[in-house]
Structure 1
Amino acid sequence: MVAAQVASGVRAEPVRLTSAVVLSLAASAVAFLAARCGLRRAGGAFLAVATAGYAAEWVGVRTGVPFGEYSYTSVLKPQVGGVPVVVAVAWGGMGLAAHAVATVLAPKRRGWRWALGAVALTAWDLFLDPQMLRLGLWTWADGGTYRGVPLSNFAGWLLVSFLIMVLIDVVVGPRFPGVSRGLVALYAVMAAMETLAFAVVFEPRDVVVAAAGGVSMGTFAALAWRRAWRR
Structure 2
Amino acid sequence: MVAAQVTSGVGAEPVRWINPVVGALAAAAGCFAASRRGAARAAGAVATGMALGHTVERIGVRTGLPFGRYTYTPVLRPQVAGVPVAVAAAWSGMGLAAHAVAAVLVPGRRPVRRMAVGALALTAWDAFLDPQMLRHDLWRWARRGTYRGVPASNFAGWLGVSALLMAATEAWVGGPDASEWLVATYGLMAAMETLAFAVVFEPSDPVVAVAGGTAMGAFAVPAAVLALRRRAAGTGAGRP
Matched, 1:148 2:149: yes
TM superposition score normalised by structure 1:
0.97
Judge conservation of contact 1:6–1:201 (CA < 8 Å) in 2.
no
Give percent identity, aligned residues only: 64
Give the superposition deviation at 1:177. 7.1
> Structure 1 runs of 4+ off > 3 angstroms?
none
Q: Which AA in structure 2 matches 1:157?
A: W
CA RMSD of aligned residues (A): 1.0
Judge conservation of contact 2:106–2:176 (CA < 8 Å) in 1.
no
Give the superposition deviation at 1:107. 1.8
Aligned counterpart, 1:193: 192
> Structure 1: where are the runs of 5+ without partners?
none
CA distance in 2, matches of 1:50, 1:224: 25
CA distance in 2, matches of 1:33, 1:177: 12
Q: Output aligned runs, 1:38-187, within 5 Å.
A: 38-108=38-108, 109-172=110-173, 176=175, 178-187=177-186
CA distance in 1, matches of 2:160, 2:107: 21
> Structure 2: where are the runs of 5+ without partners?
231-240
SS of equivalent to 2:12 = coil
SS of equivalent to 1:153 = helix
SS of equivalent to 2:71 = strand
Deviations 1:138-169 (CA, angstroms, capped at 9, x unpaired)? 00001111000000000000000001111111
CA distance in 2, matches of 1:205, 1:2: 20
CA distance in 1, matches of 2:37, 2:6: 32
Q: Which AA in structure 2 matches 1:79?
A: Q
Aligned counterpart, 1:27: 27
Matched, 1:228 2:227: yes
Aligned counterpart, 2:234: none
| Aligned length in residues | 229
TM superposition score normalised by structure 2:
0.93
Judge conservation of contact 2:102–2:118 (CA < 8 Å) in 1.
yes
